[in-house]
Chain A
Amino acid sequence: MAISTLRALLAKDLRILARSPALAGLLIVYPIAIALLIGLALSSSPALPRVAFLNEIPPDQAVIRLGSESIDTTRYERELFQAIQPVPVSSLAQAKADVRNGTTIAALIIPPQLPDELASASETAYVDVIYNGNAVNQSLVENAIESKLAEANAKLAAQLSRVADSYIDLLLRGGNLDFLGSSYKILGLDKASTLLAAIAAHLPSSSPVRAQIEQVDQFARIAVQHLGSSKQVIGAVAAPIGVNQEVLSGRRTPLNDYAVAVAVAVSLMFVCILLASGMLALEREEGTLARLRRGLVSAELLLAEKAILAALVGAGVAFAMLAGIGVLVPLGWGRAVLWLVAIVAGGACFATLGVAMGALVRDVRAASLLALFVSLPLVFLALVPSAAVSGGLFDVIRVVSALFPFKPALEAIDAAVNQSQPGLLESLGHLAALIAGFGVIARLALRPTSS
């Protein structure tokens, strides 16, 4: 009997929804629009900042020779172009004019003396950057250029380190040194030590020359030992600090994947809470609540019907949205059943909160306002990172977030979509407890009052 009543009420509410063109349209357009926005945002690279580019290095000096190593400056130029969209200009004046009139947000000038400064290996080489004074643009270009320069510096340091290595090897073991078009034969400290030892052996032990030769030989041996270890020191200076990464407490979600879970959870929340609270408030607004409650429909069945309606519609919207994002962004379709479980559980919890709100207010507008006032802070609270606030405040935020459905629903969706921690079962248990709690509140709020 209850099932047939439930079916009749669900059919009635779906008919009412279908006859509210704005709402029905929104429920169809919303997931498509959000899925497209998020999918395109996550699947396409961000637009690169347009930067005027002037390379003043003569083409024949683009490759610098340092010992046996050659440094191609155009290679670093190409790497830099991965971070910016270069707009070639022919002069410094044009570069400045482009920045001033907004054609480009900055200008990057490679000065002609850069190869000489690099080749000298003794002084820092500089590139010039001109900004238009806009803080946001400046920050954007600064970040892009500085990160690429840091990479270039690291690679250059590694090349210079290899050049230094080759010179040290030459000093130690000898060989040919090509310099300014001429080739010089270098003896090397190893061979010098051997030669000095042989000479000293032919001199009488009382000879003062022998003592001096032995001193020079000893210096050569010490030099050989310490120059050998200096190569490691130079290598370490080229890359002084590296990063070893370790992730504690299970798998963490990459930011892009987490953004998908957040977008789905937020959409699910708004659809479910607004629909559940609005449809229950509509019964009161139309006067039908009192008619239904006089023995035709029990309070529990009425609340369950609104929650089921909102959860199903919300889950449909959220799943469509996730599937839409999945077309544009790689998602694990093999886990689609788990997505559905998480979305339905989250939707049921949001919907139960929604009917509790709808039972407390007298009309649809008040229900919508209450839903917004409660929902938005919950989203912000659930997304506050622990490092952003003091420990005590974060504990309070954690408790408040745990008392409302957004955080556990987000965790459930994140676990289903991205296999993150805490696991899906833990989040489902949390949601079930909240459904029971909000169900009791909704039932108490729907008690008849003074007429």
Chain B
Amino acid sequence: MTQLEAKGLTKQFGARVAVHDVSFTLAAGEVLAIIGPNGAGKTTLLSMLAGGLQPSAGELRAPSERGIGWVPQQTAVYSKLSVAENLRLFARLERVADLDAAVARMLTQTGLAERSGDPVGRLSGGNRQRVNIAIGLIGDPAVLLLDEPGSSLDPRQRARLWEFINARVKAGTSVAFTTHDIAEAERYANRLLVLADGEMLFAGPPAGLRSAEHDDDLERAFVAFLAEHGH
């Protein structure tokens, strides 16, 4: 079942075209990795999907009942508020019916129940990112968008983060995430979307990109693919 559908999404900032004519769908329980070089338009595309940016052109069909959860690259939390207070505030803003239950669930799922009263500013980078993701999930969204979720985490923290996200995926949540880490994309994504200079160059499974470049190493195949397309 399609959870998210983008048709011809375009975003212009003045004369500069950041994203041009991007179309794709995201099915329930699917994990999509958006990869590309710096300045490719990955974050702009994700911001449009999240509703933070209005597309200049194109259409976006998003789930109406259970909305979209968004996890920005930089932790977007109130450092003076506690973990529980942050979760409760965003649960209220997301109009979650049972605030207490939603907060308790996210505290359990993130493993932060014991630190629920601690100000977020005092948490480690990994725990702050967990709170950041928990806020994205507090409204139990059908689609979760993550902007470079593992970039500030060490390997152990990144593994725990994906353990947590995969549990949601198994429950039917669709995930789209941007990353520079090709290994992370290969390990966790069902599908890749390659962007360069705002243009969508490839959409398909990682195996498709490997076979297109006749290279078993996805990172090498990705670099060769970009070079072939003049990037």
Which A residues contact B (CB, under 8 angstroms)? 1, 4-5, 8, 12, 15-16, 19-20, 286-288, 290-297, 448-451
Contact = CB atoms under 8 A, between A and B. Distances in A.
A23 to B, nearest CB: 11
Contacts of B74: 287
23 contacts: A1-B95, A4-B92, A5-B92, A5-B93, A15-B80, A15-B81, A15-B85, A16-B80, A16-B81, A19-B80, A19-B119, A286-B76, A287-B72, A287-B77, A290-B52, A290-B72, A291-B72, A291-B135, A292-B93, A296-B94, A297-B93, A450-B18, A451-B44
B79 interface: yes
Contacts of B13: 449-450
Contacts of B53: 448, 451
Contacts of A450: 13, 16, 18, 44
A450 B43 CA distance: 10
Given A8-B89, A12-B81, A450-B18, A291 B76 contact: yes
Nearest to A288: B76
Interface residues of B, number: 31
A8 B85 contact: no
Contact of A451 (B47, B90, B119): B47
Given A450-B44, A451-B53, 10 more contacts: A4-B92, A8-B92, A15-B80, A15-B85, A287-B72, A287-B77, A290-B52, A296-B90, A296-B94, A450-B16
A19 B85 CA distance: 13
Interface in B74-88: 74-81, 85
B70 interface: yes
Contacts of B77: 286-288
A96 B70 CA distance: 82
Contacts of B58: none
Interface of B: 13, 16, 18, 43-44, 47, 50-54, 67, 70, 72, 74-81, 85, 89-90, 92-95, 119, 135
Contacts of B72: 287, 290-291
B52 A296 contact: no
A449 B12 CA distance: 10
A447 B75 CA distance: 21
B195 to A, nearest CB: 14
Contacts of A451: 43-44, 47, 53
Contacts of B92: 4-5, 8
A362 to B, nearest CB: 13
Contact of B75 (A4, A19, A20, A287): A287
Q: Which of B43, B75, B92 has the most CB of A within 10 A?
A: B92
Nearest to A297: B93
B6 to A, nearest CB: 16
A285 B92 CA distance: 22
Contacts of B80: 15-16, 19-20
4 interchain residue pairs of minimum CB distance: A287-B76, A294-B52, A450-B13, A294-B51
Nearest to A15: B81
A403 to B, nearest CB: 29
Contacts of A290: 47, 52, 72, 76
B19 to A, nearest CB: 11
Contact of B51 (A4, A12, A295, A449): A295
Contacts of A16: 78, 80-81
Contact of A294 (B18, B43, B50, B85): B50
Contacts of B18: 450
Nearest to B120: A286
Contacts of A287: 72, 74-77
A282 to B, nearest CB: 9
A19 B121 CA distance: 12
A155 B77 CA distance: 77
A194 B78 CA distance: 109
A112 B152 CA distance: 91
A82 to B, nearest CB: 57
A291 B80 CA distance: 17
A297 B92 CA distance: 11
Q: Which of B13, B93, B135 has the most CB of A within 10 A?
A: B93
A294 B52 CA distance: 4
A288 B78 CA distance: 7
A51 B203 CA distance: 93
Contacts of A288: 76-78
A281 B46 CA distance: 23
B71 to A, nearest CB: 9
A20 to B, nearest CB: 7
A288 B74 CA distance: 10
B43 A8 contact: no
A20 B75 CA distance: 20
Contacts of B75: 287
A443 to B, nearest CB: 15
B67 to A, nearest CB: 8
A182 B114 CA distance: 112
A297 B54 CA distance: 15
A376 to B, nearest CB: 29
Nearest to A296: B93
Contacts of B51: 294-295
Contacts of A449: 13
A16 B78 CA distance: 8
A289 to B, nearest CB: 8
B128 to A, nearest CB: 11
B231 to A, nearest CB: 20
Contacts of A291: 70, 72, 76, 90, 135
Contacts of A293: 52
Contacts of A292: 93
A449 B79 CA distance: 24
